[in-house]
């Protein structure tokens, strides 16, 4: 008896295992019978299918992201631009989606082709300056609408299409970099030339001011020296006027000091020279 019951329980368990499936909150499901869609399940919960005859395909009902491969776009002014775009989409008709593309991998490939084709057709009619300005939002709206019209055939709704990056090709970037480098070098040379010119002007102005200041100082020095000499001569003249003999004696003493003290010069003079006038009768003293 047990030998009969155990296989029956095993068959029932296996049948139940292959008959029950759960649709999660983030999924929607299609029940297929030999590849032919039989039911569309949009709500989460516990569901049943015929074991070994029917199978279930689960599709994501969340908003999905798609990174389209970068493409090169030629603007209306023949300027080249590398455009890297991304899109967000949602599967809104599971049956149409399954019939037209089958799975997400194929859907992403088809959408990438459509997005890039639409980007070329829209951006190719615009100038490069327009693509890099605020008007790009209008162009993106046109791209989104165009992609959405084609994506409806796959049971897909395009939520948004955006450009992540829009760069010039490497050759253009290198040329622009070299042009910018040349321009900056030219500006640097102009700044250096202006700096050298200003340095020469400042140096010459400073030299001129130094010369003027030195000349003024020398002029004042000569004036003060002249005034001092005049004052000295006036004092000497006043002293000579009061006592001519004393003044003559004082001047003679100064001459003796300069000529005889601390000097290495030898003087040969006659004893009756005027220079020895205040030494008394030197000639007589010598005879004695």
Handedness of CA 167, 170, 172, 177 (dihedral sign): positive
Whole-angstrom distance, CA of residue 32 vs CA of residue 56: 6
Alpha helices in 152-243 (DSSP H): 170-242
Burial (CB < 10 A; 0-12, 13-18, 19+), residue 161, is buried
Cα–Cα dist 232/250, whole Å: 14
Domains of the chain: 2-60 (no CATH), 64-168 (3.30.479.30), 243-287 (no CATH)
Residue 285 banded pLDDT, cuts 50, 70, 90: very low
pLDDT in tens, 158-167: 998 888 877 7
- Mean pLDDT lowest for which of 8-17, 55-64, 97-106, 177-186? 8-17
Which pLDDT belongs to residue 109?
92
Secondary structure (3-state) at 2:
helix
Q: Are strands 71-74 and 156-167 parallel, antiparallel or unpaired?
A: unpaired
Could you read off the pLDDT of 218-269 as tens digits, one per residue? 888 888 888 887 787 777 677 666 666 666 677 777 776 666 665 566 666 6
Count of other CB atoms within 10 angstroms of residue 192: 10
Q: What is the DSSP string of 232-247?
A: HHHHHHHHHHH-HHHH
- Cα–Cα distance measured from residue 65 to residue 12, given in angstroms and rounded to the nearest whole number: 42
Look up the pTM and report it: 0.54
- Residue 46 is predicted with a pLDDT of 86
Judge whether residue 113 has pLDDT over 60: yes
| Residues 6 or more apart whose Cβ sits within 8 Å of residue 282 | 271, 272, 276
CB 92 within 8 A of CB 160: no
Give the CB-side neighbour count of residue 233, counting CA atoms within 13 A.
6
Percent of the chain with pLDDT over 70: 72
């Amino acid at each position: 008896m047990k030998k009969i019951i155990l296989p029956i329980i095993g068959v029932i368990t296996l049948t139940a295992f292959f008959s029950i499936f759960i649709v999660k909150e983030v999924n929607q499901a299609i029940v297929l019978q030999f590849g032919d869609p039989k039911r569309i399940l949009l709500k989460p919960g516990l569901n049943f299918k015929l074991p070994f005859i029917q199978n279930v395909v689960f599709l994501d009902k969340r908003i999905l992201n798609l990174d389209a491969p970068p493409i090169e776009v030629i603007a209306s002014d023949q300027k080249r631009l590398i455009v890297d775009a991304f899109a967000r989409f949602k599967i809104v008709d599971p049956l149409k989606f399954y019939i037209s593309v089958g799975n997400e991998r194929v859907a992403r490939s088809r959408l990438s082709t459509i997005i890039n084709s639409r980007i070329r057709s829209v951006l190719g009619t615009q100038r490069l300056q327009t693509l890099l300005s605020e008007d790009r939002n209008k162009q993106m709206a046109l791209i989104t609408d165009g992609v959405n019209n084609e994506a409806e055939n796959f049971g897909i709704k395009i939520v948004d299409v955006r450009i992540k990056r829009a760069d010039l090709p490497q050759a253009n970037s290198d040329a622009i970099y070299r042009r910018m480098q040349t321009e900056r070098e030219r500006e640097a040379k102009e700044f250096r030339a202006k700096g050298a010119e200003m340095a020469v002007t400042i140096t010459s102005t400073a030299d001129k001011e130094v010369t003027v200041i030195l000349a003024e100082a020398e002029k004042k020095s000569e004036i003060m020296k002249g005034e001092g000499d005049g004052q000295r001569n006036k004092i000497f003249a006043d002293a000579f006027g009061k006592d001519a003999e004393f003044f003559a004696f004082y001047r003679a003493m100064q001459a003796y000091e300069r000529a005889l003290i601390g000097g290495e010069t030898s003087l040969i003079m006659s004893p009756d020279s005027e220079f020895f006038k205040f030494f008394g009768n030197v000639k007589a003293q010598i005879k004695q």
